[in-house]
């Protein structure tokens, strides 16, 4: 009986601490991502969408062609 009361008391204290922490912390915010240089900020036409896709594809291909650092074996 004493162990059950101790466990219930611990859970109640944990719930109170969780509620107080939740109220005191600000909600998480998502940092805005800066657009890549040369990329349009908004896409309004299919031609612009095609251009953005092509620029992205070129940037991805360029990143894939860069040499990776040698892995260190332990």
- Domains held by the chain: number: 1
Res 39: pLDDT: 59
Residue 47 located in a structural domain = yes
Residue 15 located in a structural domain = no
d(CA 11, CA 52): 53
- Provide the whole-model pTM: 0.36
Answer whether 39's CB lies under 8 Å from 33's CB: no
Q: How far is CA 22 from CA 9, 11, 26, 73, in A?
A: 20, 16, 8, 44
Residue 61 located in a structural domain = yes
Q: Kindly state the helix (H) or strand (E) to which residue 57 belongs, with its residue range.
A: helix 46-65
Res 26: pLDDT: 79
Give the residue numbers spanning the domain of 51.
Answer: 40-65
Residue 28 located in a structural domain = no
Q: Which parts of the chain have pLDDT scores under 70?
A: 33, 35-36, 38-43, 72, 74
Residue 49 located in a structural domain = yes
Residue 32 located in a structural domain = no
DSSP 9-36: HHHHHHHHHHHHHHHHSPPP-PPPPPPP
């Amino acid at each position: 009986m004493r162990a059950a009361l101790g466990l219930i008391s611990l859970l109640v204290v944990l719930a109170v601490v969780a509620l107080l922490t939740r109220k005191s912390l600000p909600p998480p915010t998502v940092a805005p991502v800066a657009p890549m240089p040369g990329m349009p900020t908004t896409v309004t036409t299919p031609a612009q969408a095609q251009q953005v896709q092509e620029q992205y594809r070129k940037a991805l291909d360029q990143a894939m062609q860069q040499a990776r650092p040698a892995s260190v074996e332990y």
